[in-house]
């Protein structure tokens, strides 16, 4: 890591391109200002703005003293309204020019003629930036360097940044460029691209740090004509400065400091996407001009089958009620059917509740009242539930705390009572349900609970079940992939049940993403407007990639005119989150024709999948393995600080 925020290697980040003034608002802060060979101190707050106006040349003289006299006469005659400069040329002539902001050509010519400079002519000159502060002489130049005093962050515009700044004039605008050490820059990139609160896995953030560093190195000098390397938006990669820095992403940057991904010795074009929908895409399919051997589509999963061994006797498929009742029997030690009064007594003993008389064959209201009493939940039902009955209170408590209770049958039977008793045990915290993913561990298969900081062992031979669409069955063993969803029920330290979810999706590493699936509907007229075809008659997919993404689309209007899109242009045309979608026409309730888009993923789908990297990290994959998974055939090296050759 660098000794300071301005230690090499440096990167130049465009923060803003503004026609209006841009401020450095910290009052009283000193800045060393350098421009066109001069330098002095200024004190904040500073304000930089493009300086528009007419530039005229009043003459060119071989004698510097004559030029100096002309310049002095013009400055005295024009006062503070205009700026007078002398430009020494390679031809030995000193040209005297004036720059007069806000004045018209007619006004300038009249004033100059009155001063004896009737031969003055307008000249083309690069735009300039004017920088002023609370103290210190204002500065005007084509490029102004602003070096803040001290190592603490500098407020600029709406953010705070490390390093120093360059102000450049360009086409009537001022470019604000943040110049800082590459590693210091990454501290404001990694958390902006992959927030540590949403992705709290060090290996995933390390992979993002290397990808972001590699992307920056590969694109150094790309905008040399305007004096910067990268912008701070998603068009390059997002940079938010000090405001987003976090100790976990700082650690990811620090522990991978200097490391970049290379292919045949050169930094790769490290493209990355938010959510790839289960498989990344070949760059050639979406961005033909960025096709590379290392940007190949891969499965967003860790293809490493693992086997979980269970205990007990396999069973046939059972419904929710039977599955819950079986767990109640395990927790309460009900090895065989017992009278309802015995069940309530054991439940009360486990929950520190009280037992009330429940006659055999009691109705649902009496049973619910007995369950609440045995579970010590009477006050909770009274205070939190709004129902006017014991059964309503029990059901509402389950709804409030996300605990399923099977629908009571017309005549309450024993199995329903035992299933409802499990809800009471869970409401009291005596049984805990946790969801997570299967992950490899040195001691075998583990579980990574959803809100836990690390994985945990499953223990030996847990009571193992498989679930499929609301049905459960007990099994002796189950093969899973890293990332397969697991559900664990625990009573204290004892495992009551471990459930493998067979609902589909396998081990997709990005399955936790909110953008794993999405739906959009557009009216036929709105779709036509988006595509620039108001008389839209037909739209169809003409080509899909190997991953299923739409990379060819055609629309035809009523006159037979055709418009076609290919690659990433499909997404831009439709305005959808991704090109991994299917579409079909539907008729709304109002009779209007609509198109329904059903899709997966968010972004372009090329390179590293951020949500997938997080899933792979949770499954135990290291950052270097994650990078090699998404970028085919790469190596990892420590960058020597040299800019890539053209």
Are 507 and 302 contacting, i.e. CB atoms less than 8 angstroms apart?
Answer: yes
pLDDT at 507 over 90: no
In degrees rounded to 5, what are phi and psi of residue 622? Answer: -80, 165
- The CA distance from 133 to 46, in Å, is 4
pLDDT at 572 over 80: yes
pLDDT, average across residues 22-27 = 95
pLDDT at 194 over 60: yes
The better pLDDT of the pair 473, 645 is held by 473
Bridge partners for 10 per DSSP: 181
pLDDT at 235 over 60: yes
Helices (H) and strands (E) in the chain, counts: 17, 37
The reported pLDDT for the residue numbered 144 is 95
Report the candidate in 548, 571, 624 with the shortest Cα–Cα distance to residue 279. 548
pTM for this predicted structure: 0.80
Are 439 and 445 contacting, i.e. CB atoms less than 8 angstroms apart?
Answer: yes
Helix axes 414-427, 320-332, angle to 10 degrees: 70
37: left (phi over 0), alpha (psi -120 to 50) or beta: left
pLDDT, average across residues 55-71 = 89
The reported pLDDT for the residue numbered 503 is 76
Segment 490-505, tens digit of pLDDT: 999 999 999 999 876 6
What sections of 428-579 are H helices per DSSP? 524-530, 569-574
Structure tokens that stand for 223 in this block:
């905008």
pLDDT, average across residues 334-339 = 84
Domain boundaries, the chain: 1-51+127-181, 53-124, 337-427, 518-599
The better pLDDT of the pair 171, 368 is held by 368
Residue found by looking up tokens 């409030």 in the block: 400
**Cβ contacts of residue 544 below 8 Å, gap of 6+?**
550, 551, 552
Cα dihedral 356, 361, 363, 367 in deg (nearest 10): 30
pLDDT at 58 over 60: yes
pLDDT, average across residues 456-474 = 93
Q: What percent of the chain has pLDDT over 90?
A: 68
pLDDT, average across residues 148-162 = 93
In degrees rounded to 5, what are phi and psi of residue 160? Answer: -130, 135
pLDDT at 155 over 60: yes
- In whole numbers, what is the pLDDT of the chain averaged over residues? 91
pLDDT, average across residues 319-323 = 95
Residue 287 half-sphere exposure toward CB, CA atoms < 13 A: 16
Task: Work out the widest C-alpha separation in the chain, in whole angstroms.
Answer: 120
Bridge partners for 599 per DSSP: 518, 581
- The CA distance from 501 to 109, in Å, is 83
pLDDT at 362 over 90: no
Q: How far is CA 109 from CA 104, 118, 122, in A?
A: 9, 7, 9
**Cβ contacts of residue 178 below 8 Å, gap of 6+?**
12, 13, 15, 156, 161, 162, 163, 164, 165, 232, 241
- The CA distance from 292 to 631, in Å, is 10
Are 213 and 256 contacting, i.e. CB atoms less than 8 angstroms apart?
Answer: yes
The reported pLDDT for the residue numbered 125 is 60
pLDDT, average across residues 605-617 = 96
Residue found by looking up tokens 């305007």 in the block: 226
Q: How far is CA 14 from CA 154, 177, 235, 639, in A?
A: 15, 4, 12, 23
The reported pLDDT for the residue numbered 290 is 95
The reported pLDDT for the residue numbered 126 is 60
Segment 370-393, tens digit of pLDDT: 999 999 999 999 999 877 899 999
Residue 221 three-state SS: coil
In degrees rounded to 5, what are phi and psi of residue 535? Answer: -95, 40
The better pLDDT of the pair 314, 87 is held by 314
pLDDT, average across residues 623-641 = 96
The reported pLDDT for the residue numbered 408 is 87
pLDDT at 206 over 90: yes
pLDDT, average across residues 450-471 = 90
pLDDT at 53 over 80: no
pLDDT, average across residues 464-483 = 93
pLDDT, average across residues 232-245 = 96
Residue found by looking up tokens 């902001």 in the block: 101
What sections of 401-467 are H helices per DSSP? 414-427
Let me know how long the chain is: 646
pLDDT, average across residues 220-245 = 95
Q: 27-41, 185-199, 300-314 — which one is most confidently predicted on average?
A: 185-199
pLDDT at 1 over 80: no
- The CA distance from 250 to 259, in Å, is 15
The reported pLDDT for the residue numbered 83 is 78
Structure tokens that stand for 363 in this block:
């109705």
- The CA distance from 537 to 244, in Å, is 48
Are 584 and 597 contacting, i.e. CB atoms less than 8 angstroms apart?
Answer: no
**How would residue 459 be classed by pLDDT, with cut points 50, 70 and 90?**
confident
The reported pLDDT for the residue numbered 331 is 96
Bridge partners for 434 per DSSP: 488
**Residue 479 CB coordination number (10 Å):** 10
The reported pLDDT for the residue numbered 508 is 84
Peptide bond into 9 cis (omega under 30): yes
In degrees rounded to 5, what are phi and psi of residue 11? Answer: -135, 145
The reported pLDDT for the residue numbered 468 is 92
**How would residue 506 be classed by pLDDT, with cut points 50, 70 and 90?**
low
pLDDT, average across residues 55-67 = 88
Q: What percent of the chain has pLDDT over 70?
A: 97
The reported pLDDT for the residue numbered 444 is 86
Q: Which CATH architecture group holds 53-124?
A: 2-Layer Sandwich (3.30)
**Cβ contacts of residue 639 below 8 Å, gap of 6+?**
9, 213, 217, 258, 259, 260, 267
pLDDT at 364 over 80: yes
pLDDT at 646 over 60: no
**How would residue 76 be classed by pLDDT, with cut points 50, 70 and 90?**
confident
- The CA distance from 166 to 149, in Å, is 15
**How would residue 124 be classed by pLDDT, with cut points 50, 70 and 90?**
low
Q: Give the strands of the sheet with 550-557, arranged side by side.
A: 536-544, 550-557, 562-566
- The CA distance from 563 to 557, in Å, is 9
pLDDT at 409 over 80: yes
């Amino acid at each position: 890591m660098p000794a300071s925020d301005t230690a090499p290697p440096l990167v130049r980040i465009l923060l803003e391109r503004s026609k209006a003034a841009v401020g450095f608002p910290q009052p009283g802060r000193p800045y060393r200002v350098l421009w066109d060979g001069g330098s002095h101190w200024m004190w904040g707050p500073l304000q930089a703005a493009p300086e528009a106006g007419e530039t005229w040349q009043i003459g060119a003289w071989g004698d510097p003293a004559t030029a100096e006299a002309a310049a002095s006469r013009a400055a005295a005659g024009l006062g503070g309204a205009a700026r007078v400069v002398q430009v020494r040329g390679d031809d030995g002539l000193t040209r005297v020019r004036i720059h007069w902001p806000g004045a018209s050509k007619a006004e300038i010519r009249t004033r100059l003629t009155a001063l004896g400079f009737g031969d003055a002519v307008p000249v083309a000159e690069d735009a300039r930036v004017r920088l002023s502060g609370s103290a210190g002489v204002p500065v005007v130049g084509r490029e102004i360097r602003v070096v803040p005093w001290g190592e603490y962050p500098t407020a600029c515009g709406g953010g705070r940044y490390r390093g120093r700044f360059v102000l450049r004039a360009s086409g009537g605008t001022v470019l604000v460029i943040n110049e800082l050490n590459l590693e210091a820059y990454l501290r404001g990139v990694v958390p902006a691209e992959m927030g540590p609160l949403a992705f709290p896995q060090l290996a995933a953030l390390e992979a993002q740090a290397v990808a972001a560093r590699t992307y920056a190195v590969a694109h150094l000098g790309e905008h040399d004509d305007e004096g910067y390397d990268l912008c701070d938006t998603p068009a390059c990669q997002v940079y938010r400065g000090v405001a987003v820095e976090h100790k976990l992403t700082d650690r990811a940057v620090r522990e991978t400091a200097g490391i970049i991904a290379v292919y045949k010795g050169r930094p790769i074009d490290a493209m990355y996407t938010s959510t790839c929908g289960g498989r990344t895409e070949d760059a050639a399919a979406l961005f033909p001009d960025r096709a590379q051997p290392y940007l190949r589509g891969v499965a967003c999963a860790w293809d490493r089958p693992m086997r979980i061994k269970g205990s007990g006797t396999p069973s046939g498929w059972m419904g929710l009620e039977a599955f819950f009742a079986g767990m109640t029997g395990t927790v309460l030690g009900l090895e065989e059917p017992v009278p309802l009064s015995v069940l309530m007594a054991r439940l009360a003993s486990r929950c520190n509740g009280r037992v009330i008389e429940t006659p055999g064959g009691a109705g649902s209201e009496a049973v619910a009242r007995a369950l609440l009493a045995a579970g010590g939940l009477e006050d909770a039902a009274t205070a939190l539930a709004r129902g006017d009955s014991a059964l309503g209170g029990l059901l509402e408590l389950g709804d409030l705390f996300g605990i399923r209770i099977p629908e009571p049958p017309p005549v309450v039977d024993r199995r329903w009572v035992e299933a409802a008793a499990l809800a009471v045990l869970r409401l009291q915290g005596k049984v805990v349900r946790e969801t997570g993913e299967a992950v490899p561990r040195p001691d075998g298969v583990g579980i990574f609970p959803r809100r836990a900081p690390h994985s945990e062992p499953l223990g030996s031979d847990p009571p193992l079940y498989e679930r499929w669409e609301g049905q459960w069955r007990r099994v002796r063993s189950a093969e899973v992939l890293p990332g397969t969803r697991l559900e664990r029920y625990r009573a204290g330290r004892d495992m009551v049940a471990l459930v493998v979810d067979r609902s589909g999706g396998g081990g997709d590493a990005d399955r936790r993403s909110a953008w794993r699936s999405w739906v959009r509907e557009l009216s036929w007229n709105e779709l036509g407007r988006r595509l620039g075809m108001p008389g839209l008659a037909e739209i169809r997919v003409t080509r899909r990639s190997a991953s299923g993404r739409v990379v060819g689309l055609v629309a035809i209007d009523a006159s037979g005119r055709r418009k076609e899109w290919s690659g990433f242009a499909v997404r831009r045309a439709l305005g959808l989150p991704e090109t991994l979608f299917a579409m079909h026409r539907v008729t709304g309730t109002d009779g209007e024709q609509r198109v329904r888009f059903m899709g997966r993923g968010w972004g372009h789908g090329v390179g590293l999948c951020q949500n997938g990297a997080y899933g792979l990290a949770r499954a135990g994959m290291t950052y270097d393995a994650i990078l090699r998974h998404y970028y085919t055939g790469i190596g990892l090296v420590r960058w020597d600080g040299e800019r890539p050759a053209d």
